[in-house]
Amino acid sequence: MKPTLKTFGLVSAGLFLAFGRYPVSWLVSSRNRSAKPARLRASNRLFVKSPTGNTLHVAIEGPEGAQPLVLIHGLNGSLQHWFYQRKFLGDSYRLILIDLPGHGKSPAPASLAVKDLCRDLAAVVSQLSLEKPILYGHSLGAMTVMEYCSSYPNVAKGIILQHCSYTNPYTTCQASWLVEYLQEPVIRPYLEYSKKHPLMFKILTRMNYMNGLSLLLHRYIFFKGEQSAAQLRFSSRIAAFCPPEVTAEGLLRCMDFDMKGKLSKIKAPCLVIGAVGDRLTRAYAGKHIAKNVSRGEFAIVEGGHMSLLEHSDKVNDLVGGFLNRIK
């Protein structure tokens, strides 16, 4: 018996709901020839308890005795975002990769305030006895590094800040005038609501990852369009599996962030990386940071907020050059 048109439509709809992420990612991506990113496992992993009540999953890899380099990802991410940087730096540096509280394999957070994330970083540096570490942060991770280096100005040998603001990031994003206008009447209540109903949002985010809707949003928020389909699926999957209540709390706490009066306290050599197509943190924010820290330099790359994936070769060239200059 020939299948009816209705049956064909139902099967097609079911397949798209389950696998729509593949055609969507192909349609909105470029033929980027970078290696396909994949989840990497570190043989040395541990959990560090912080005085803030947070517990952080930490992966360690690279030669023992080599210069320690701490990598901290951004909100809605995990240490897996550092795929290309791990490949590039892993043979020369002792990499300390941190999952922020509630992200990756780290347990649910007691606090996601940047000042507490700073104390969490201090706990990792202290408990692992890291001598003159280099600190590399992306987005919220870079905000944490700035807070840490203003509080402990003589600890880090150098710092790298990629795609981060020096103040409430809602004020330095694209269309910030609209985002600021909506912050209190719309954005804050929505985030508070999602914290109270995480199961509903968890189901929605997982479904939207499967059917490709979240990939479409991810492409236009985090990328410029020069990413590969595999990179888009990789980054979107990490975001989809971050608990929605953690994402919401992180976005709320970002509203409280302000380093305007403390940038001059950052004494370590500092590389600030911005991106031409970054919609979440416009390049002028990075220029402001580089200008106001004691020893800053600014560089800009193509791509969007996730240029560490989208243009990893260029980012790694900048990072490698900076690391060679501060040896």
174-229 pLDDT per residue, tens: 999 999 999 999 999 999 999 999 999 999 999 999 999 999 999 999 999 999 99
C-alpha 81/C-alpha 231 separation (Å) is 10
Which of 83, 41, 75 lies closest to 60 in space, CA to CA? 41
Residues in the chain: 327
Three-state secondary structure call for residue 228: coil
C-alpha 91/C-alpha 89 separation (Å) is 6
Residue range 68-94: mean pLDDT, rounded: 97
With contact defined as beta carbons under 8 Å apart, do 118 and 95 qualify?
Answer: no
What pLDDT is recorded for position 8?
62
- Let me know how many helices (H) and strands (E) the chain has, helices first: 14, 8
The continuous run of DSSP H or E covering 161 comes out as: strand 158-162
Q: What are phi and psi of 161, to 5 degrees?
A: -120, 120
Query: What is the side-by-side strand order in the sheet with 296-301?
Result: 44-49, 55-61, 94-99, 68-72, 134-138, 158-162, 270-275, 296-301
Question: Given a cut of 50, is residue 1 above it in pLDDT?
Answer: no
With contact defined as beta carbons under 8 Å apart, do 45 and 220 qualify?
Answer: no
The pLDDT tens digits of the residues spanning 276-287 come to 999 999 999 999
With contact defined as beta carbons under 8 Å apart, do 61 and 95 qualify?
Answer: yes
DSSP 190-206: HHHHHHH-HHHHHHHHH
According to DSSP, the residues that pair with 167 across neighbouring strands are 258
C-alpha 318/C-alpha 308 separation (Å) is 11
For the CA atoms of the chain, what is the radius of gyration? 20
What pLDDT is recorded for position 13?
67
Q: Which of 37-41, 49-53, 319-323 has the lowest mean pLDDT?
A: 37-41
Q: What is the pTM of this model?
A: 0.95
DSSP 268-327: S-EEEEEETT-SSS-HHHHHHHHHHSTTEEEEEESS-TTHHHHTHHHHHHHHHHHHHHT-
